Chain A
Amino acid sequence: MDYDEIGLKAGIEIHQQLDTAEKLFCRCPTRLRQTEEHTGEFFRYLHATVSEMGEIDRAAAEEMMDRRQFRYFTYDTTCLIENDEEPPAPMNQEALGIALQIARTFSMHPVEQVHTMRKLVIDGSNTSGFQRTALVAMGGVLPGGGGVETICLEEEAAQRVEGSTFSLDRLGIPLVEITTAPCMHTPEEVQSTAEYIGMVLRSTGRVKRGLGTIRQDINVSIRDGARVEIKGVQELDLIAEVVAREALRQTNLLAIRDELRARNATVDDETHDVTALFAETRSAILKRAKVVLAVILPGYAGLVGREIQPGRRLGSEISDYVKKCGLGGIFHTDELPAYGVTADEVAGLRAHLGVADEDAVLLIAGSRERCECGARQSRLRARLALEGVPEETRKMLEGGSTAYMRPLPGAARMYPETDVFPVTITDADWTAVTVPELLSDLAVRFEEELGLDPGLARQVAYSERLPLFRSAVDAGIGATLAARTVLATLKELGREGVAVERIAAMDLVLVLRAAEEGRVAREAVPDILGAIAGGAVAGDAVEAHAGGMGDEELSALVRRIVEERAAFVQEKGMRALGPLMGVVMEEARGKVDGRKVSEVLRREISRLA
């Protein structure tokens, strides 16, 4: 697809959790918990409130009568602030400091006085019914000329356990929201920009790592299309695919629009009750339904079933709207006969409604109330197809296609958070903010200064365990040993279920130094680290593996093995090294360094050969 030709424009919002000691507006730790660990629960209703200007209309009044019940899990690591039972603490200065550091890296302009706002969110993910958020800096630059519009400091929402049950451990963890300008024009550019911003964030060394700690919302439009916001893309690798599929979707929706217009297609205002036609049907869904309603779309035949994204059709888009009424979806004549509906039934339906071949018919089945809502919604979406691409918020489906979530919010409903005083950022504060070394630069420096090979240098620079590596190198441990240990050894141990996060930097240094000095075998390092992670004192763990085999003992062992196989050695010469290495290691593994074994073995073989 020629993205230039279709006029692709995209921007991203990156939400990254910060690794602070305490939450943004309370003093709880930023620790995630297992839901089984919850120590209490309560439930609440949320109600939409009167807007800050005191405006109210009938729709809002109706909405306010809506009771939405939510259940919340509490922990010994959450407090009354998460419960919405205590006013918030002042803004966490550590979090603000990190946000400013990120802002400085993007050459942004910090605001002089940061005001905390309340953004209404009544889906239950915030006990208060709003998310606290504050604009910290504006107007940054990206390499390649793009722009960062804003950086906001926000509190993380509560995590949904299931349905309307939420867990309060995550609520209030500080996160930064970085919003770029709509400055990207290809899917790959969006992905590489997200990668770059992610790298900058990690360069601070003060962001949370792991799944769910970073999320991207992507805004995409094409010329003649419309702005669509795709929420919550967690996998970086899928970003380009999501953008490409959205561009494809908008292109196809525009093509459908053109075709509909060429056909003078319309949407019929009348809803037809066709329940009686399906009285004897073998379609389980239609048979079970109290009511089956039909909506006629003159001129839509063939287009409702046309694919607009992998696995998605205009029919799926109509279905998404209908699902808002509590229905499972729709049937349409482009896909029938199917789902137990026979060709005869379709023909009967067409005859009954008197529709032409170029017309499509939608079937909506369920309770009367829901079906009537569904008929309205399906007409709404079908009409939007005549206009092209609707502006909307969408959610990502597996693979990178998307489904409708809700309309784009209008002007943000934002209120001042009256319980938090504004925070002034003085010139002195701003000047004191240090710019972290970018991980990309760090990798180059590791190559140059530590002699690591480029791949390893990059891997270790970008690794979550960079601080461990740095501690080891600073303590004089060889860079390659340190890098391989933090990257490979700890990773493998972690995979085996060892709690590697319990290994302190000073303990790692102790173990690696013992290995370097030959007091323990390098082969023993994983076992020793495993013991430490399991609670052993580092010194004891090293001792337990140290001195397993002294130089003399090793020489005696090797000499014995070589002499026992004298004929083999004399026949093979140095080629006996490999096979004999295995024999020696069977007895020496974990007690002595493999390199040392190899050295002694070589000496003994050459003596005999």
Chain B
Amino acid sequence: MDSEKSCKESSYFMKSVFIKLRSESQTVILFMIGILISLFVLYPFLVLLIKSLMNEGRITLDVYIRILKDQETYKAIGNTIYVSLGVTLLTSLFGGTLAWLVTRTDYVYKEAIKKLAFLTFMMPSYVIAISWIEFFGRNGYWNRILRNIFGIYEYRFIPYSLEAVILVMSIHLYPLVFMAIANALGKTDPSLEDAAVMSGASRLKAVITITLPLTIPSFIAIGLLVFSRTMANFGVAAVLALPVGEEVLTTRIYSGLTNLDLQLAIAISVILVIFSGIVFFMNNVLMRKRRFTTMTANAQKAKLIPLGKWKNSIVFFVILFQSITTIIPLIVIVTSSFLKRWGLTLTLDHLTLNNYVVLLFKNQLTRGAFKNSIFYGCIGASIAAGVGGVVSYISNKTDLNGRKLVEFIVTWPMAFPNMVLAVAATLAWMHPPFKLYGTRWIIIVTYIALFLPIIIKNVSGLIQNQDVFIEKAGRMCGASNIRVFKDITLPMIMPGLRSGWILAFLIALREIPISLLLYSPGTETIGVMLFGLKSNSYGLEMTSTLAVVIIGMTIIGHVLLKKVKGLKMEVEK
């Protein structure tokens, strides 16, 4: 009763304030963004938080005290940090090196690097984990090679460990770093580097003291994304670490949910949010102490650094690296998809096309599931790109109070396993006036919350590198804020928006927990179908088949997108 009255009072007061502020366009935009973010992110989160604090009608911190006394919590935290740091360091090394080779050197097979990195990026982390098992497992292809060709029968390598998680996640995420750093390097003026060389510095010193610092914003932004994504990842840890008794925070949360202990799951999720917040604010503190300026208007084509005597060695190692991270996993899953049952020997009588037939034609849900996943993915990714782009702009290019807080709130879902987002969505959207439960919109709304952090992190590095003077020049010519955003800022961040959209869409194609907990008859997704296939006594061969189909669809989609873009450019000419 009292709560209803409070709702009305606050609503009235907000209306009054809104009327006063409507003449300020920036404030109005922030207000509208705030409403959207509150609906998609803050409201479900606060419902969840209040739930964790309520025990038999009174507010208490009992559940937080309980988990802070539990030694298992600290072990899970330690494991989470270990894995996340490991992945962040490895991906920075892999992605940064490849980005530098592609943008700043005369490396010969640049297109191959880009295409193979994108291909790796399109493989779900879960699928890379599966191919890891199929290759290195006790009956895996590597062991069969050792056995049949080299006669080695003693099996020693155990493919399940925290280190396995680090390696698989690094393979999955290094393309993000590669794309972000390549974008940043592409917009950095190489003449600064040339000036250093003319002043007597060696090429290596110029790279270390000029180019590397200029890419720090992108390294930090994408490193934050990688760290957060790894912290929040559940699938790989569940496949490669949990089976041998190694737990991370996400698997701990999952166990809490499975054991119907929602408060435990929420409390640990809050810990993840706190960690995410610490990383986020450390990022901001570091960034605030430096000023980054680049003039891209006069950027010349970069003078490529010759690799000289190192060329052959570098080519060899790059090919080796990308073979291990992209080609071998693809060969493994394609091979497995043609087996009647994974684990059978590779002989003609054990091969079949039936896995594809079952997946694409016999399953009654296939057509509807693909259609739904594509629809939800497009809607969710598009809305997230729109909102995320504006949030990123507000956060980095305006003087509005609370801008960093807005960005931080939007990135909260990154710290939550998808299962917790699904629970939050259930609790939040079960009742009028916002009853979405049982419709497709609860899935879409939850996808938006899931996608927003991804969009923002892809855009942040780019937007921070943009010189504020260009915008001011636009305003001095009489353009409005909106015009400046549309004509100057938007083209600059479009690569980030595009890659973020693609990433979000890909996640929608293969996501399982949100779909499984929130789906209703008629709103099945690929994830729900994937789950159904597993319960039909299929094994790794069917998982591999689905992986091949998803990757194939993604490649086709990407090619079509490029053609549409090319067509548009032709029209403009």
- Whether both chains belong to one complex is answered with no
Residues of B within 8 A of A (CB): none
Residues of A within 8 A of B (CB): none
